[in-house]
A and B are shown apart, each in its own frame.
Chain A
Amino acid sequence: GAGVSQTPSNKVTEKGKYVELRCDPISGHTALYWYRQSLGQGPEFLIYFQGTGAADDSGLPNDRFFAVRPEGSVSTLKIQRTERGDSAVYLCASSLTAGGSYEQYFGPGTRLTVT
């Protein structure tokens, strides 16, 4: 079956611009996660959704970052007034439901470059 998909695969934007990154989870998965991976580092948790609500957004670095999941399926990560330090690979993952033992399935990521 289809895995987690993310679009675009690459995004280049200028400093100060607004960007949206999209994630399509595996069908039927109620939990959805966003991570950020900088070069040479492990993924860093940003936010997770259980259904439509953000159950934990403690990893969002500041109020320029926001994510939505209005119908409990597709999610969009939104970054306002981008900065060069936002350049990273943004990963999305989904799992059948929330719970530490459930496997998270990762998408291929969106590589964001802020010039």
Chain B
Amino acid sequence: QLQLQESGPGLVKPSETLSLTCTVSGGSISSSSYYWGWIRQPPGKGLEWIGSIYYSGSTYYNPSLKSRVTISVDTSKNQFSLKLSSVTAADTAVYYCARHVTTVTTDYWGQGTLVTVSS
């Protein structure tokens, strides 16, 4: 059974960089059949797609976040990562890592991790 697990700091200061890693178990991140991505959800609000990456390294970002986002993949560790720079309180959210069959079809999700931006 495929499992995804987010890890990283739960508290980030304003203007700093948010960094999260997703560890994939029960399957290979190098599969050519899937994309891997990040989706976030501010407390009490809806879902927002952040971006996705293919195992080859091709990336696709939400244009509203593109200038601040970097998603990378480490196939040797079966992990992929998110970096979001210059964070503000508006970036406070539960961050989910996920597997996409297509960019729109997300069949596996991590449990989510709350990241709070505060000084």
The answer to whether A and B belong to the same complex is no
Chain A interface (Cβ < 8 Å from any Cβ of B): none
Chain B interface (Cβ < 8 Å from any Cβ of A): none
